[in-house]
A = this chain, B = another copy of it.
Amino acid sequence: MQELQKLYDRIVQRANINLRELEFDVNPYVQNLIPFEQMVKFYAFFGISPHHPLNFQFKHSNLAGSYFLGQCKITNSLLYKSDIRGDELKKKGDIFQYQNFEIPVSRDEEIYIQDSMLIKTLVHNYSHDPETLEEFFIRNTVAANYANIHGSPSDGSFVGSFATVDLTTMRDCVIGNFAYIQTGEISHLYIAPGTIWIRNPDEFNFVYKHPIDALNDYIYFKSGVPPRGIFIDFVEDRKEAFQRVFDVVNIEHSTPVPSSASLDRYAVNKPPTHIGENVLVSQRAYLQNAWLGKGANAQENCYIINSRLEGNNVTAHGAKIIGADLGTNVFVGFNSFLRGAAGKGLIIGKDSIIMPHTIIDVRVPLDIPEGHLVWGMIKSESDLTRHSIPIEDFSKINSSFTMGSMFFEGNGGSFIGAFRDRIHHILEANGAFFDGSEKKGHAQKNQFISFNTLQPYPEGKYKGLYPTISIKP
């Protein structure tokens, strides 16, 4: 156990050195978040299949409860119940398009996590940074419970609970709880909790801030206080269901799964559930009385409960949909929390975009018309009018626009276009458009993954540390 403690100290110190300008000390945040004495009880696991790259390198790290797929290199790090997917990385020979540059990828990209501590964090997708095409690095970084590092290289940063950094390279930054950042490149910034910030220089800039008092009911996490609130309670209340999934070597789900779809062996599936054609249910997703139409997906850490998704729905990482009916093509962004009134109170019309980190939590029925852009915190009908707009109207903005505490400047059409392109890409990558032979995506490729478990040294000086492991084709 000594080595594990030393590793923890080293990571904290390295993060703090990077964050000295912000006078930020990560230690009181995370010192009690990893149950050191229990670290030997959780196994790490990795998937192999003929459809995914395979290159795992684990060295001097704790990987308790973490999952790996694709290509990942982990050194001197603590990854506690994290989820690292290196199956969407760039390949040698690819051409990376960035503005007017066409940059050749010179070797297979890998996710490289070094001197970092990730707690229940998702790391996924390829790095969108044109400066480091072959390495999606996470260094000297500490990320708290249910953070989301998506295509975002990071150095010397702290990512708060339920925060998402998306397609952004960050250096020496602190990202507050439930903040969502998609800004290309940032450094030496403190981002307040609940900030939603999407920026494409020269094109558009979208900023919204969740009301902090209301947000604190959902997620509250400060120096010396472990994360708490509705989000944490929600996840903790369903933890038991995952226990069974991890306790057995093989699991048979009782729901029929079409040959074009996949329901992960590490997902929780509480019937009645319906899995349509081309549906992807990822590992650590949770389905309970859920109807998923053709091409819908439930990504990692999603919860879909008492809900119906008509088809081609993206439920991005960490999104929670409870008691809602979603029309076709409705997109629900990262970590959004949608909870209808008892029963089936929430209806979202087709083609609507629920922006990342949106909270819709209503006690009375609510009907969101089709084709709307929705953001922020919505707890009533009147909140909805101040946090949504027809996509058609938004597309016409070409200077600036304010609604409640949302501020937008730039080209609305370009903003919506970027969203639509991305949604299309996500559906494509996840296999929603599979036609029986072409256009395979994760839904089809994930059917044939075999899972392998790894455990740390159970005793002695290296207790809790994993041996040095290399796995290649």
Name 11 A/B residue pairs within 8 A (Cβ), A-sorted. A43-B249, A43-B452, A48-B458, A49-B457, A50-B457, A247-B250, A248-B248, A249-B249, A450-B456, A451-B455, A469-B471
| Docked pose: A48 CA to B465 CA in angstroms | 11
Closest-by-CB residue of B relative to A50 is B460
Q: A246 within 8 Å of B by Cβ?
A: yes
Which residues from chain B contact A468 at a C-beta distance below 8 Å? 470-473
- Contact partner, A459, options B246, B249, B448, B463, Cβ 8 Å: B448
B residues near A341, Cβ cutoff 8 Å:
none
Asked whether A200 is an interface residue with its Cβ less than 8 Å from the other chain, the reply is: no
Whether A449 sits at the interface, judged by CB under 8 Å, is yes
Q: Tell me if B457 and A467 are in contact (CB < 8 A).
A: no
Q: Is the CB of B467 within 8 A of A458?
A: no
Residues of B within 8 A of A192 (CB): none
Select one of B48, B54, B458 contacting A448, CB under 8 A: B458
A232 to chain B, nearest CB (A): 26
Q: Looking at the complex, which one of B249, B250, B452, B467 makes contact with A472 (CB distance below 8 Å)?
A: B467
Q: Which residue of B48, B249, B471 contacts A247 across the interface (Cβ within 8 Å)?
A: B249
Contact A457-B48, Cβ < 8 Å, known A467-B471, A468-B473, A473-B467: yes
One complex includes copies of this chain to the number of 2
A residues with CB within 8 A of B: 40, 43, 48-51, 54, 246-250, 448-463, 467-473
Which residues of B sit under 8 angstroms from A458, Cβ to Cβ?
48-50, 448-450
Contact A452 B450 (CB under 8 A): no
Which B residues are CB-close (under 8 A) to A51?
460
CB pair B459–A455 under 8 Å, yes or no, is: no
Q: What is the distance, in angstroms, from A3's C-beta to the closest C-beta of chain B?
A: 11
Q: Is the interface of A mostly helix, strand, loop or mixed?
A: loop
**Do B459 and A50 touch (CB < 8 A)?**
yes
Q: Which residues of B contact A471 (CB under 8 A)?
A: 467-470
Instruction: Find out whether the CB atom of A50 lies under 8 angstroms from the CB atom of B248.
Output: no
Since A449-B458, A452-B455 are in contact, a sample of 19 more A-B pairs with Cβ atoms closer than 8 Å, ordered by chain A residue number, is A48-B456, A49-B457, A50-B462, A247-B249, A247-B250, A248-B249, A249-B249, A448-B458, A450-B456, A450-B458, A452-B452, A453-B453, A467-B471, A467-B472, A467-B473, A468-B472, A469-B469, A470-B470, A470-B471
Contacts of A247 in B (CB 8 A): 248-250
What is the distance, in angstroms, from A238's C-beta to the closest C-beta of chain B? 20
Contact partners of A450 in chain B: CB under 8 A: 40, 455-458
**A156 smallest CB distance to B (angstroms):** 30
Among residues of B, the one whose C-beta sits closest to the C-beta of A246 is B249
> Whole-angstrom distance between the alpha carbons of A452 and B455 in the complex?
6
Residues of B within 8 A of A250 (CB): 247
The residues of B that contact A469 with a CB separation of less than 8 Å are 469-471
For A452, what are the chain B residues with a Cβ–Cβ distance below 8 Å? 43, 452-455
User: From A470, which residue of chain B is reached at the shortest CB distance?
Assistant: B470
Q: In whole angstroms, how far apart are the Cα atoms of A60 and B44 in the complex?
A: 24
**A312 CB to closest chain B CB, in angstroms?**
27
Q: How far is the CA of A332 from the CA of B470 in the complex (A)?
A: 41
Evaluate contact between B461 and A50: CB separation under 8 angstroms: yes
Assess whether A467 is in contact with B48, with CB atoms less than 8 Å apart.
yes
Q: A365 to nearest B CB, angstroms?
A: 43
Cα distance A54–B456 when bound, in Å?
12
Q: Most chain-B Cβ atoms within 10 A of its Cβ — which of A247, A456, A459, A462?
A: A459
Q: Which residue of B lies closest to A472 (CB)?
A: B468
CB distance from A1 to the nearest CB of B (A): 11
Report the minimum CB–CB distance from A188 to chain B (whole Å).
Answer: 39
Q: How far is the CA of A88 from the CA of B50 in the complex (A)?
A: 36
* A472 CA to B465 CA, complexed, in Å: 12
A197 to B246 CA separation, bound complex (whole angstroms): 49
- Taking the closest CB of chain B, its distance from the CB of A465, in whole angstroms, is 10
Which chain B residues border A54 with CB–CB below 8 Å? 467
Q: Using CB atoms, name the residue of chain B closest to A469.
A: B471
